[in-house]
Amino acid sequence: MRKLLFTILLFAVLISNAQTISLNGKWKFKASNTLSESELLQSDSSTWDQMQVPGNWDSHEKYATYVGKGYYQKNFTVPQKWQGKQIRIQFEAVYETAKVWVNGKLMGEHVGGYLPFEFNITQEVKLGETNSIVVMADNSYKRGAWWAWGGISREVRLVANNDLRLVYQHIASIPDFEKGEINFSIKYKVENNSANTATAQIFPKIKGIDIAPVSVKINGNTTNISEIEFKHKLADFKLWHFDNPNLYQLTSELLVEGKKMDVAEDNFGIRKFEVRGEQFYLNNQAVRMNGVNRVHDHPKYGNTEPDCLIKKDMKDIQSLGCTFSRLMHAPLSKNLLDYCDKNGFLLVEEIPVWGDDDPQSFPNNPVAKKWMADMIERDFNHPSVVAWSVGNELRDAVAPWENKALTKDQYGYVNEMLDYVGSLDATRLKTYVTITSYRKGEIGTEPYEKVDFISMNSYGNAPVLAQKTHQKFPGKPIFVSEIGLSQIGAGSDAELSKDLVGYIKELKKFPWISGVSLWSYNDYRSNYKGTPKSGYREWGIVDAFRKKKKKAYQQLKTLYKECEE
């Protein structure tokens, strides 16, 4: 079997030359599924409620169960010094469908609740005067068993750029251990918002390396993608590893006729994550890793993911002996990714295509492709991200559980999306999370050939199910991306069942099991079938508020310690 080598040299693009104004804070808010958009836009927003941004309306008692459209309004002023700049409004995330109006004019619509988007509002804003923005957020779309928190859930800002800007810089590095060198490549996407053709130079800088500048000729109102490659001695760098997450710094300046148009300055890490036969290797060492899933959910914070919660949760998860997980069925927040980069935690990221009735699971789906492309563009440079997943637990809706298999459309979706992911990012592993591989899935009806490793969820006899999967689909690592046996329960004495403890221990014996991840770290709000009267799915080893560690918490910590010995 061919050896798959995967490496990331990373940064998260922050345009430090751009000027920004935060629009976080108090916004006016009105929930309505009956008024037309024109009626809302003409209404007196001074009579509306107030809502914090970032925030979720359903974290407030008045709107705790409201589903549908919520309208946000805020006034803002653009400084006169932004004259001649390209002015954009950027949203980190709005759940789930959003529309944006500036001074009464529709700027556009965005579908997808976990990824950023922006609109160029240069022609609509009035400098030095009061401007109005209205955002419609609709949380009617629901996937999975987690709560569909509604609202503007992450940061909002105004950004002013020059006509030429760096849209992204994607950095890859492949350490060659035999030659003792690193093969670097940096890909730049440059946007020209003027009507004139421009010739620009990009000057990349990494301490200790001489890098030739990149010359870019870009026509008016177009984008250009340019790439450079170079080598350097491996001995001059320390690799990124979950035990030693070493980060370095890259600075890139965009100049036109000697004038600085844009600049990016970011951290990056160098590492190689690969599959060899039936095992994972990180930097030439075989690794088998433990994990626990984490739902982006908190009774107070909803799914807004404040830094304090990220730090507390992830430090606690790491203290259990966890280093690897597909934490959640949706793109993760940027601050969570940054934490994992700096503190050494490996991640599989996934788009929210889930279950037997998912409307996105058909071939050549432009919505799912956009979600995947946007996620990869945003997160390409994070060294903590080692794989992309195209979906979770797709299966036929009619057949009894023991006969579940992918439908023709679902198979076509997964098969095509794996190819698409490979075209977007050849530096990471590809996977899909299955519960049909050990049921009626067979070669030809499961995307076995195109996944780099098999991810399977188990809520039954995991060792038996894993062996069935391995027998039918040999030669690749199997990651038990979720393991559980019914809900743990709410009380302090709630514990992992004896069967589940035994299953986790037994899985350790199989050399082709690359890791196990318990569902889940925290209890989480839900209205999915089987949810207790509390309104929370009590699968967590801690409660939803993170105030109570259940007996299951210490059990898992002991189990994972034993698995390392």
Nearest 5°: phi and psi at 198? -130, 145
Is 179 found in the same domain as 151?
A: no
Give me the pLDDT at residue 11, please. 30
280: its two tokens: 């994972």
Using a cut of 0.75, tell me whether the model's pTM lies above it: yes
Question: Of 481, 480, 484, 485, nearest to 513 (Cα)?
Answer: 480
Does residue 175 lie within any of the structural domains?
yes
Q: Which two tokens stand for residue 513?
A: 């099991």
pLDDT score of 241: 98
Q: Do the domain assignments include residue 281?
A: no
Please count the structural domains in the chain: 3
CATH of the domain at 135: 2.60.120.260
In terms of domains, do 9 and 36 share one? Answer: no
Low-confidence stretches of the chain (pLDDT < 50) are 1-16
Question: How many CA atoms lie less than 13 Å away from 81 in the CB half-sphere?
Answer: 5
CATH number, residue 378: 3.20.20.80
**Cβ(321)–Cβ(561) under 8 Å?**
yes
Looking at the structure, do residues 153 and 168 belong to the same domain, yes or no?
Answer: no
Same domain, 422 and 442: yes
Last residue of some domain: 125, 160, 195? 160
DSSP secondary structure code for residue 238 in this structure: P
Q: Where are the beta strands (DSSP E) in 121-210?
A: 130-138, 156-161, 164-176, 181-192, 198-206
Q: Tell me: do 427 and 324 sit in the same domain.
A: yes
Mark out the alpha helices in 293-358 (DSSP H runs). Answer: 307-319, 334-343
Residue 92 and residue 208 share a domain: no
What pLDDT, on a 0 to 100 scale, did the predictor assign at position 491? Answer: 93
Domain final residue pick, 239, 272, 305: 272
Residues 137 and 184 in one domain: no
Query: 43 lies in a domain?
Result: yes
Same domain, 460 and 316: yes
Element (DSSP H or E) covering residue 536: strand 536-537
| Shared-domain flag, residues 211 and 152 | no
- The crossing angle, in degrees rounded to 10, of helices 462-472 and 498-507 is 30
pLDDT, one tens digit per residue, over 390-440 is: 999 999 999 999 999 999 999 999 999 999 999 999 999 999 999 999 999
- For β-strands 69-77 and 513-518, DSSP reports them as unpaired
The token duo for 334 is 């940027």
Q: Are residues 148 and 258 in the same domain?
A: no
Assigned domain for 331 exists: yes
Question: Do both 57 and 9 map to the same domain?
Answer: no
List, as one string, the DSSP characters of 464-488. HHHHHHHHHS-SS-EEEEEE-SS--
Say if residue 526 is in the same domain as residue 380. Answer: yes
CATH number at residue 244: 2.60.40.10
In a domain? residue 283: no
In a domain, residue 282? The reply is no
Among 134, 160, 186, which residue terminates a domain? 160
Within a domain: residue 280? no
Closest listed residue to residue 362, CA positions, set 387, 394, 330 = 394
Q: How many CA atoms lie within 13 A of 26 on its CB side?
A: 5
Residue 278 forms part of a structural domain: no
Domain range holding 117? Answer: 19-160
